[in-house]
Chains A and B, each alone.
Chain A
Amino acid sequence: MRRRTIRSVITFKNASGGSPAFLLFYPFSGKSYLAPEEVSVRKYILKRVLISIVILFFVALIIYILMRCLPTSYLESIAQQKSSQPGAKSYEEWMEQLKSTYGMDKGIISGFFTWLGKALTGNFGDSWKFTVPVVDKFKSVIGVSFVMGFISLILEIVIAIPLGILAAMKQNSKTDYTISVIALAGISLPTFFFASLLKLVFSVKLEWFDLFGLVGRNHAHLDAFGKILDMGHHLVLPIVTLVVISFGSLMRYTRTNMLEVMNSDYIRTARAKGLSERKVIYHHAFRNTLIPIVTIIGGSLPGLFSGALITETLYSVEGIGYVSYQAMTAGDIPFSMFYMTFLAVLTLAGNLIADILYAVVDPRVRIA
């Protein structure tokens, strides 16, 4: 998939400096803003967006079909509950009534188009489980997921890239092996295992942090600043978990790319120029490893909004991941549909952003 994306950008030679963003991001781009290139950039982006819409339609359709076919049915569990009360209607009667109330009496395909028609007007309906509009529930929980994701992404970049460079510079040394082993351990640790380990050490033994939740028991009595501090305190373990399990792949990626660049001819040229080793590494080598790294990071930006399902669930942090987990296990079709369509949009946007960023950092793609 990654390969394909990159090639599609390379064939698109005129991804030129049409956008003013290039002026902001790239210091050497004071030229070549030609109208034809700009037109082709628009054309390219338009084409990509149109293709994305088609993909999105089918993704939504497949998700809807799967949701309807799930063995966990929200309606069935409600009907069971209601019918077991003394003097109530029978299960079948309840089922019939609930189905028509919730609009599930239609077939799957017609049900999907009903959902799609409403979704296009921005109406995603009410969540069955949370009994509030889906969008409202989403808005109330996305904030904490975003903050968590953003902080861990920043930490991940700050930790992984320097470590990757260091490992590449000292290839096959003890430093390199140590870093690689730690990174590999991070990649291999299952989230639930590592999170439980952290809880055991820092919550149970050392009692530094609460076991779960986003706020302490006396949260309501704190002032505004204290409240933020309290939430920050509760976010430490989830963020540590996220960073440790995710920094390894970026670090290894940086290391591999750095090694590849360090062996190239133009690095030998830079050395022959008599530049200091620092200059060779940061001015020549790192600049050339930036492209794949930016592509990776750009592709992970939309992920900030998707939440961390496992980590949030383990620490009971009311983020979008945890809430969607609850919705899915309860068979809450409107919320699950919204969340998963949203994820599909994010993924498609991520690829598009990565390709555009690619053009920003690579002059060969920018100016044909």
Chain B
Amino acid sequence: MADKHSVEASRGITPIEYDPQYILMVNSLKKHFPIKGGMISKTVGWVRAVDGVTFNLKRGTTMGLVGESGCGKTTVGRTILRLYPTKTAGQVLFNGEEIFDKSPKEMRDLRTKMQIIFQDPFSSLSPRLPVGEIIGEAVREHKLVSDDEYNDYIDDIMDKCGLQPFHKDRYPHEFSGGQRQRICIARALALNPEFVVCDEPVSALDVSIQAQIINLLSDLQKQFKLTFLFISHDLSVVEHISDTVGVMYLGNLVEYGSTEDIFRNPLHPYTKALFSAIPVPDPTYKMNRIVLEGSIPSPANPPSGCKFHTRCANCMECCKTEVPEQKEIEPGHFVVCHLYDGEKGISHEEKVPAAEEITAEPASEKAAEKND
């Protein structure tokens, strides 16, 4: 049943080729969760948590992923790390290799290269293990360092994350929220990863601690040459830390581009509404809030056409029926909206003869090359 659904969802997705400058390439990724119902737990529907997300992530950069609660940000982060056993459709290429094709053994080895920092530092640490064990367990398991160096290695990582060596024997409940998040960071970095998904790493912390953790992450990124996917609903944090930003709405990426482009010139009506909500620390400033009507529709039964049309101020007739395509308006700045249908944008279509193979992806690669 799941397979049939998966095949259906995969229809019309053109595979992409690996480009070595990107550590992670995500192409039309879909993750649908079955809704079970009835007497014999048969699948009565699907929650389209992630419904076609495409982006590429360059080595050593940070991509911010923003959107309101329930739009599928976290599901994207977890799916690209294969924390769910299956995906529904699309591709996730990590260093050019499809992670969902890996055997369990290969996947376990790959885990050292891709790590995640979870949102809640309180529930994501096992309460029954001392901190040294939480951080070091996987290091030992994957035999990353020899037994002689093990203790020094753990001390070193803890030191870099602002933890004291004597913290090793303590249990997670003995730490404050900020310290726990440091433990989570140390745990992820102890494996010496290349790519880290930060799933709202600061939203459970108070503001003074947030800044510390953000700065710690930036420092560590430089030190270890990390690539981050930074999931957050805090736009100022994302603006501070990210090189590129993706805006999600109801399982889709509606706009994607460099941080500067997106914040200077938001194109999609949803992005505009979202950014109009950023508070400005100036009492005389008159805020032009764009207030969205209604609430986010159910991902189990998304609206037809453009998913945003039910709440969009610029809704046109075609929005209700036709799904908009991803278009590149500025170099490296993509938007999915019918408002920009008429605009020429930067089209690469003339250069590529085989029209049916054109997806937004090859375009994005070329654009990104030019951009840098």
Contacts and interface: CB of A to CB of B under 8 A. Distances in A.
Do A and B associate with each other?
yes
Given A274-B109, A274-B112, A266 B187 contact: no
A262 B138 CA distance: 19
A270 B128 CA distance: 13
Given A363-B171, A364-B173, A367-B171, A270 B141 contact: no
B141 A275 contact: yes
Given A269-B126, A272-B116, A274-B138, A28 B187 contact: no
Interface in B102-153: 104, 107-112, 115-116, 118, 120, 123-130, 133, 137-138, 141-142
Interface string A204-215: 000000000000
A279 B141 contact: yes
* Majority DSSP secondary structure for residues of A touching B: helix
Nearest to A269: B124
A101 to B, nearest CB: 62
Contacts of A362: 127-128
B159 to A, nearest CB: 21
Contacts of B110: 274
A270 B81 CA distance: 13
A31 interface: yes
A31 B184 CA distance: 23
A268 interface: yes
Interface string A135-170: 000000000000000000000000000000000000
Contacts of B372: none
Contacts of B83: 268, 271-272
B127 A275 contact: no
Contacts of A266: 123-127
A30 interface: yes
A30 B171 CA distance: 12
B137 A272 contact: no
B109 A268 contact: no
How many of chain A's residues touch chain B, expressed as a range? 20 to 34
Contacts, number: 79
A284 interface: yes
Contacts of B112: 274
Contact of A265 (B108, B123, B173, B191): B123
Nearest to A275: B141
Given A264-B123, A362-B128, A274 B41 contact: no
A100 interface: no
A275 B109 CA distance: 9
Interface in A267-298: 268-277, 279, 283-284, 287-288
Given A172-B41, A268-B118, A273 B111 contact: yes
Contacts of B108: 274-276
A275 B81 CA distance: 14
A363 B191 CA distance: 26
Nearest to B184: A269
Contacts of A363: 127-128, 130, 171, 173
B101 interface: no
B158 to A, nearest CB: 16
Given A272-B115, A273-B138, A284 B109 contact: no
Contacts of A271: 83
Interface centre among A264, A283, A288, A363 (most CB of B within 10 A): A363
Contacts of B124: 265-266, 268-269
Contacts of B123: 264-266
B328 to A, nearest CB: 34
B343 interface: no
Given A274-B111, A276-B108, A367-B174, A288 B126 contact: yes
Contacts of B111: 272-274
Nearest to B125: A266
Contacts of B109: 274
Interface of B: 41, 81, 83, 104, 107-112, 115-116, 118, 120, 123-130, 133, 137-138, 141-142, 169, 171, 173-174, 184, 187, 191
Given A31-B169, A274-B142, A362-B127, 15 more contacts: A264-B123, A266-B123, A268-B118, A272-B81, A272-B116, A274-B110, A274-B138, A274-B191, A283-B137, A284-B126, A284-B129, A287-B129, A288-B128, A363-B173, A364-B173
